[in-house]
Amino acid sequence: MGSAYRKGWFGADADSAAVPTLDAAAQQRTAESQGAEAAYIPYVPAETDENTPRDMVEAHDYYLTPRAQHPNAQNKKLFTKSITRIFAFDAFHLVEDLLTQPLLAIAGSEAGSLWHTTELHARARSPKKLVVVEGGAHMDFYDVPQYVKRAVDEAVPFFEEHLAGE
């Protein structure tokens, strides 16, 4: 999650691209300390257009429509606290040394987030398997039957091999 915010959804942005957002968070934090209202930002795009990455369009469809929307999910996060913590979060820090469990990494070939999966797989030293499902995007693995089935079909034998008792 942190790397997607720091490097952009596709992982192509320079680290310096994060500076304007971090500056805005710092300015907002200062304003709040002087009595300004807290600022919130959406978790997924509230609106999409032709420039919105496919995965974000699908996230909008998943989280903000009856497909999976929950009445308590307000699609907002506190800007000053959430952004700085997300930017600082690194899910892969020390993965080479701390991930000792077997790893099954599954992603769609069309997922903008595929680079996270391939990076994790490349860095992991534990027994591992990478499955890239042709045509799948990030959200497809949440509830699109053909992609969920493919993930389960990969997971069952992997878990049977690596999690079964002696």
What's the confidence (pLDDT) of residue 9?
A: 86
Is 149 or 87 the better-scoring residue by pLDDT?
149
**CB neighbour list of residue 142: distance below 8 Å, 6 or more residues apart:** 62, 68, 148
Amino acid of residue 156: V
Do 83 and 19 form a contact (C-beta atoms < 8 A)? no
What's the confidence (pLDDT) of residue 75?
A: 96
In the chain, which ranges are continuous DSSP H helix? 2-7, 19-33, 54-63, 79-88, 95-98, 114-123, 140-143, 145-163
Q: Is 136 helix (H, G, I), strand (E, B) or coil?
A: coil
Any idea what DSSP says for residue 130? E
Up-side HSE of residue 51: CA atoms within 13 Å toward CB? Answer: 0
pTM (two decimals): 0.87
Beta strand 103-108 pairing with 128-133: parallel
Do 87 and 22 form a contact (C-beta atoms < 8 A)? yes
Beta strand 103-108 pairing with 40-41: unpaired
- Check whether 165 has a pLDDT greater than 80: no
- Check whether 1 has a pLDDT greater than 90: no
User: How does pLDDT run across 42-80, given as a tens digit for each residue?
Assistant: 999 999 999 999 999 999 999 999 999 999 999 999 999
What's the farthest any 2 CA atoms get from each other in the chain?
A: 61
What's the confidence (pLDDT) of residue 105?
A: 98
What's the confidence (pLDDT) of residue 69?
A: 94
Q: Which CATH class is domain 2-88?
A: mainly alpha
User: How does pLDDT run across 3-28, given as a tens digit for each residue?
Assistant: 888 888 888 999 899 999 999 999 99
Any idea what DSSP says for residue 39? P
Do 8 and 112 form a contact (C-beta atoms < 8 A)? no
What's the confidence (pLDDT) of residue 166?
A: 58
Q: Is 18 helix (H, G, I), strand (E, B) or coil?
A: helix
Domain ranges for the chain: 2-88, 95-163
Amino acid of residue 75: N
User: How does pLDDT run across 98-146, given as a tens digit for each residue?
Assistant: 999 999 999 999 999 999 999 999 999 999 999 999 999 999 999 999 9
